[in-house]
Amino acid sequence: MIKKILVPIDFSDYSKNALKYAADFAKNFSAKLFLIYVVEPMIYPADFSMGQIAIPSTDIDIHNRAEEELKKLADEIDKDLQVETIIKTGKPFVEINETARENDIDLIIIATHGHTGVEHLLFGSTAEKVVRKAPCPVLTLREPIKGFVYKNE
């Protein structure tokens, strides 16, 4: 049974469309949606002798902004669905998989951005890393999402 679905959000159109798909999916299974946004800590080399130092105030601003945006997305979802929002700080694929483990998630639905070639070599793929290390099944969605009709607003 699929009772808990985790949807990573990065506020791109890809992830917003994956959320719409996940909401329809959740309705069919009467599942609860968990939306997660991961803030990657900003680090700068302050002094080579001290190592890298995080910029906490900027991280707090990003966290607060993400909280507002995630709540706004959650409010747009069908009111019949249970939705929980989660914000974590760290490496996205690590935090996504850890959250899936902590919340006993049954399915992760994640958008792929379709990077290829050099771009894929340089940036890698969060979705790919989630798939490789996930504690549960992962449904990856690539644009255009087949069998899913939506309006861009």
Instruction: Domain 4-141: give its CATH code.
Output: 3.40.50.620
DSSP 90: S
Look at the alpha carbons of 44, 46, 48, 53 in this order and tell me if their dihedral is positive or negative: negative
What band does 61 get if pLDDT is binned at 50, 70 and 90? confident
* Range from 35-39, 44-48, 144-148 that averages highest in pLDDT: 35-39
Return mean pLDDT, the chain.
Answer: 82
Q: CA–CA distance from 119 to each of 122, 124, 142 (Å)?
A: 5, 8, 16
Give residue for tokens 């449904």. 139
The CA distance from 84 to 113, in Å, is 24
Which tokens sit at 129? 């890393």
pLDDT at 153 (0 to 100): 43
Amino acid, single-letter form, for residue 82 = Q
At 127, list the tokens.
Answer: 């979705």
Please state the domain extents for the chain: 4-141
Instruction: Please tell me the predicted confidence (pLDDT) of residue 145.
Output: 67
Per-residue pLDDT reduced to its tens digit, 99-142: 999 999 999 999 887 555 554 554 458 888 899 999 999 999 88
Q: What is the pTM (predicted TM-score) of this model?
A: 0.81
